[in-house]
Amino acid sequence: MKPESPRIKRTRHAKHSEEIGCEVIALEVMPDHVHVFLQAKPNLSPAQIVNHLKGKTARKLLQEFPELRSKTTHGRLWSRSYFVASVGYITDEIVKHYVETQWERELKRRGA
């Protein structure tokens, strides 16, 4: 399986987010999870947003890379869990910086 470029990943997630009226502000794909900072309409619940993004990305990835099916649990690419937080108490720039520097922290953690 050939890894996607970060630009393609961001474009794909942005497209899926726009389908439900959300705007991706920052996104970083880690080996075992994804950080997404987005702006959403108030009529969408976090569960609706997460379910949409997980469903769309899983469907597309499994179509493009059928070999992933053998590595899934019961045919599910993503776990049911997720973390959501509102950011009214800090600036968008702080959150954006946090998301965009995930790999730096991961590499430091690994001692690389």
Q: Contact 30/23 with Cβ under 8 angstroms?
A: no
| DSSP string over 41-84 | -TTS-HHHHHHHHHHHHHHHHHHH-GGGGGGSBTTBSS-S----
Task: Single out the residue of 76, 36, 84, 35 nearest to residue 59, CA to CA.
Answer: 76
Catalytic residue among 14, 34, 52, 98: 98
Residue 82 is among the residues annotated as catalytic for this protein: no
So which residues are the catalytic ones? 98
